[in-house]
């Protein structure tokens, strides 16, 4: 408020009004001008702070700060409620794999897990499984089955193209199965399509005609289809040698990009890229890469690469290395597999195994619970037959031979005579020494009789004899296990010796060591031979080169036991690894294939199980759990049950790394 009287006195007295008072009057005047107006001018707003007290100014500042925080919080809340992150195209996923690709070709891929993994991403089949393990059309649009269950008619999709841009037709389907049926090709799938007639009715209709009904036939049509326009010009004898086995052209969600080899020819890296014209929903991940390693452990192993984030996933996590894989940003996925690990007896190669009492004794002599516990950290399930839980014919009431060293020795004592370890060591040492002497004399005689007409008598010097005796002792210590207290010999005086062959993996290495130890307690000499996993199919299974084979069998999506136990499958590429021949079993397996009645099929497999346990052609050890790992950057993975490790890719088109916002 202004007071004119005092102002007049001040002027009369020659005094000037103090500047602070003048400034205050000006601020009040500016504020008064705001009275009655809704929106102040900026010049007015600037002056408000000058007429407020210190406490009032602090209150204004805190109120302004709270309002800003509230506005930011509200913005985040609004965005969170109305904008959702969704999968976007892009990103690179690198999976570490122990092994290397050989034939990325659906006709041969089933014998190599690496080949099958890549084939599943590059190729498509007429049918496919979804993540719920339901059988759905894939390259087929729809299909019908005749009343007699012998004719299957497929109408194909007309929007499918090969990765090289050529159209997909029924001729491609017919050509693929004709190749499988050609014995010269040597496909492991031959038995599944033997005698099946395949006809391309027109460009988009194909028919399969069976000689007899085969209930699981549809499940075999998930195999990938090859492009006829590429493979037709390749002679059958060169199919395994062509570049298309490493540079495949398919119709799957990913297409070949490139691969990298090292100086030794080992494929170190294999790159696929997203196929944007994939006929179903194209995948989100742009580049799908496989990085190959010689092993899991070590400085340059797959696990170390995962921990250093050089790779984003691991195709398999061994149970004994699980703790090394566990990390904050790594997710370990587990799934049940229709698979079992067993010891297959090759009765054709080892006569000692032809006696039922011997095979039973070897069953009694194994502590399966301990083998599972120490080789798989107890992550699995002990089994007693090839019919797994959940499959037709499975029963818990079948006879199960328990672990009993007394029963094992009782059976073996009736077949083989015992011989003490000391007696056998001395006998064996003498045999080795005699062999070394013969080698020495042969070498000396050959060098001294060149050009001579007679063979002079040669004596071994005492110093050389002493060296040979020391060498014999060294060989003996390497050959025999000092912990074995006795051995067994047959009627001819020969020691009973079993050659146990398996893949050189951590799981099988541990299991084979335990198995050898159990059998040595029974007096059986066991020679364990571990083979590079990549060479098992080529050198071991093909030649059936083993007395006993420790191996894992994946049954697959249907209960069909024909490929593993029918007598027609005793030779490669058949999978009757026990060389088992039983006409009753053959009849049961054929009938089980033909019937469509679930109850009858279950009864047939139950009888099959009883016969297998009666004959003991193998020892069924355990069913393992499949485990793999990925970085938590990879989203959309949703698998709990698979038929094969490659089925982890069953919903790979839903996997994603990149995201984008979507308003709603």
* Pairing assessment for the beta strands 339-345 and 618-631 based on DSSP bridges: antiparallel
- Say which CATH architecture domain 339-416+496-624 belongs to: Roll (3.10)
Report, as an integer, the average pLDDT of 433-455.
69
From the list 133, 230, 140, the residue with the least C-alpha distance to 179 is 230
Residue 144 structure tokens? 């019908």
Whether residue 623 has pLDDT greater than 60:
yes
Residue 440 structure tokens? 């020495």
pLDDT: which is higher, 223 or 78? 223
pLDDT value, residue 18: 54
pLDDT value, residue 326: 87
Q: Using an 8 Å Cβ cutoff, are 246 and 265 in contact?
A: no
Handedness of CA 113, 115, 120, 121 (dihedral sign): positive
Predicted confidence (pLDDT) per residue in 256-275, tens digit: 999 999 888 889 999 999 99
Predicted confidence (pLDDT) per residue in 383-411, tens digit: 999 998 888 888 877 778 899 999 999 99
Maximum CA extent, the chain: 159
Q: Using an 8 Å Cβ cutoff, are 251 and 168 in contact?
A: yes
pLDDT value, residue 10: 45
Q: Using an 8 Å Cβ cutoff, are 170 and 181 in contact?
A: no
Sequence-distant (≥ 6) Cβ neighbours of residue 384 within 8 angstroms: 398, 400, 401, 613, 620
> How far is C-alpha 110 from the chain's CA centre?
12
pLDDT value, residue 357: 93
Report, as an integer, the average pLDDT of 126-144.
93
Report, as an integer, the average pLDDT of 199-223.
93
pLDDT: which is higher, 445 or 472? 472
Report, as an integer, the average pLDDT of 227-255.
96
pLDDT value, residue 22: 55
Handedness of CA 410, 416, 421, 423 (dihedral sign): positive
pLDDT value, residue 35: 54
Going by pLDDT thresholds of 50, 70 and 90, the confidence category of residue 316 is very high
Going by pLDDT thresholds of 50, 70 and 90, the confidence category of residue 621 is very high
pLDDT value, residue 476: 81
Domain with CATH 3.10.105.10 in the chain: 339-416+496-624
Pick from 73-87, 92-106, 304-318: least confident: 73-87
pLDDT value, residue 31: 52
pLDDT: which is higher, 478 or 561? 561
Q: Using an 8 Å Cβ cutoff, are 323 and 629 in contact?
A: no
Report, as an integer, the average pLDDT of 640-655.
89
Preceding omega of 16 cis (within 30 degrees of 0): no
Q: Using an 8 Å Cβ cutoff, are 216 and 560 in contact?
A: yes
Going by pLDDT thresholds of 50, 70 and 90, the confidence category of residue 636 is very high
pLDDT value, residue 42: 63
3-state SS of 39-83 is CCCHHHHHHHHHHCCHHHHHHHHHHHHHHHHHHHHHHHHHHHHHE
Whether residue 169 has pLDDT greater than 50:
yes
Going by pLDDT thresholds of 50, 70 and 90, the confidence category of residue 462 is confident
C-alpha–C-alpha distance, residues 421 and 484, integer Å: 7
Whether residue 630 has pLDDT greater than 90:
yes
Going by pLDDT thresholds of 50, 70 and 90, the confidence category of residue 530 is very high
Whether residue 318 has pLDDT greater than 50:
yes
Predicted confidence (pLDDT) per residue in 24-55, tens digit: 555 555 555 555 555 666 666 666 666 667 77
**Which strand (E) or helix (H) includes residue 540?**
none
Q: Using an 8 Å Cβ cutoff, are 632 and 331 in contact?
A: yes
User: How many C-beta atoms surround the C-beta of residue 414 within 10 A?
Assistant: 11
**Which strand (E) or helix (H) includes residue 499?**
strand 497-503
pTM, 2 dp: 0.68
From the list 287, 285, 282, the residue with the least C-alpha distance to 271 is 287
Predicted confidence (pLDDT) per residue in 178-207, tens digit: 999 999 999 989 988 989 999 999 999 999
Residue 434 structure tokens? 């005699």
Whether residue 8 has pLDDT greater than 50:
no
Predicted confidence (pLDDT) per residue in 344-384, tens digit: 999 999 999 999 999 999 999 999 999 999 998 888 889 99
pLDDT: which is higher, 33 or 563? 563
Whether residue 11 has pLDDT greater than 50:
no
Output the average pLDDT for the chain: 87
Domain with CATH 3.40.190.10 in the chain: 92-312+633-663
129, 311, 554, 639 from 647: Cα distances, Å:
8, 20, 12, 8
pLDDT value, residue 7: 45
pLDDT value, residue 163: 98
Could you tell me the fold of the domain covering 92-312+633-663? D-Maltodextrin-Binding Protein; domain 2 (3.40.190)
Residue 381, strand partner residues = 623
Sequence-distant (≥ 6) Cβ neighbours of residue 191 within 8 angstroms: 562, 563, 568, 569, 573, 574
Going by pLDDT thresholds of 50, 70 and 90, the confidence category of residue 12 is very low
Residue 288 structure tokens? 């799908």
Backbone angles phi, psi at 88, to 5 degrees: -130, 155
- Percent of the chain surpassing pLDDT 90: 56
């Amino acid at each position: 408020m202004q007071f004119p009287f005092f102002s007049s006195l001040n002027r009369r007295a020659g005094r000037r009004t103090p500047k602070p008072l003048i400034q205050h009057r000006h601020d009040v005047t500016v504020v008064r001008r705001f009275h009655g107006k809704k929106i102040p001018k900026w010049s007015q707003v600037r002056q408000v702070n000058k007429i407020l007290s210190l406490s009032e100014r602090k209150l204004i500042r805190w109120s302004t700060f709270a309002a800003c925080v509230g506005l930011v919080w509200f913005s985040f809340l609004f965005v969170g409620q109305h904008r959702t992150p969704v999968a976007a195209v892009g990103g690179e996923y690198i999976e570490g794999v122990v092994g290397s690709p050989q034939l990325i070709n659906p006709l041969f891929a089933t014998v190599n897990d690496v080949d099958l993994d890549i084939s599943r991403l590059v190729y498509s089949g007429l049918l496919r499984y979804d993540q719920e393990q339901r059988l759905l059309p894939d390259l087929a649009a729809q299909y019908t089955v005749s009343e007699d269950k012998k004719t299957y008619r497929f109408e194909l999709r007309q929007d499918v193209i090969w990765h090289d841009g050529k159209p997909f037709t029924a001729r491609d389907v017919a050509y693929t199965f004709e190749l499988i049926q050609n014995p010269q090709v040597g496909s492991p799938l031959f038995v599944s399509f033997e005698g099946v007639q395949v006809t391309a009715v027109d460009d988009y209709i194909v028919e399969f005609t069976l000689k007899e009904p085969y209930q699981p036939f549809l499940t075999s049509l998930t195999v990938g289809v090859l492009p006829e326009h590429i493979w037709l010009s390749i002679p059958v004898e060169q199919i395994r040698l062509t570049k298309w086995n490493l540079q495949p052209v398919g119709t799957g969600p990913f297409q070949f990009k490139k691969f990298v080899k090292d100086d030794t020819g080992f494929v170190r890296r294999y790159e696929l890229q997203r196929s944007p014209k994939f006929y179903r929903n194209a995948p989100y991940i742009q580049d799908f890469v496989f990085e190959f390693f010689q092993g899991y452990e070590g400085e340059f192993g797959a696990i170390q690469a995962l921990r250093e984030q050089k790779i984003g996933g691991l195709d398999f996590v061994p149970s004994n290395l699980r703790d090394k894989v566990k990390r904050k940003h790594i997710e370990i996925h587990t799934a049940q597999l229709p698979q079992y690990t067993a010891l297959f007896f090759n009765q054709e190669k080892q006569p000692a195994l032809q006696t039922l009492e011997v095979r039973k004794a070897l069953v009694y002599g194994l502590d399966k619970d301990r083998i599972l516990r120490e080789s798989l950290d107890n992550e699995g399930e002990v089994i007693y037959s090839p019919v797994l839980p959940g499959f037709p014919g499975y029963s818990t009431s079948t006879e199960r031979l328990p672990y009993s060293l007394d029963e094992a020795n009782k059976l073996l004592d009736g077949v083989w005579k015992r011989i003490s370890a000391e007696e056998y060591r001395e006998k064996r040492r003498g045999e080795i020494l005699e062999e070394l002497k013969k080698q020495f004399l042969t070498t000396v005689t050959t060098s001294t009789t060149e050009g001579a007409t007679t063979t002079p008598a040669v004596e071994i010097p005492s110093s050389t004899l002493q060296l040979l005796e020391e060498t014999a002792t060294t060989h003996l210590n390497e050959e025999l296990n000092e912990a074995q207290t006795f051995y067994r010999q047959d009627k001819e005086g020969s020691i009973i010796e079993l050659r146990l062959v398996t893949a050189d993996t951590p799981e099988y290495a541990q299991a084979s060591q335990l198995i050898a130890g159990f059998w040595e307690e029974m007096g059986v000499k066991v020679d364990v031979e571990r083979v590079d996993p990549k060479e098992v199919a080529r050198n071991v299974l093909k030649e059936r080169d083993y007395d006993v084979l420790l191996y894992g069998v994946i049954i697959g999506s249907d209960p069909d036991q024909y490929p593993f136990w029918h007598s027609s499958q005793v030779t490669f590429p058949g999978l009757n690894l026990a060389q088992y021949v039983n006409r009753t079993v053959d009849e049961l397996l054929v009938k089980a294939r033909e019937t469509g009645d679930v109850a009858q099929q279950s009864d047939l497999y139950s009888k099959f199980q009883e016969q297998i346990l009666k004959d003991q052609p193998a020892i069924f050890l355990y069913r393992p759990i499949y485990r793999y790992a990925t970085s938590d950057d990879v989203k959309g993975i949703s698998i709990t049950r698979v038929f094969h490790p490659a089925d982890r890719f069953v919903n790979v088109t839903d996997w994603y790394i990149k995201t984008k916002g979507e308003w709603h």
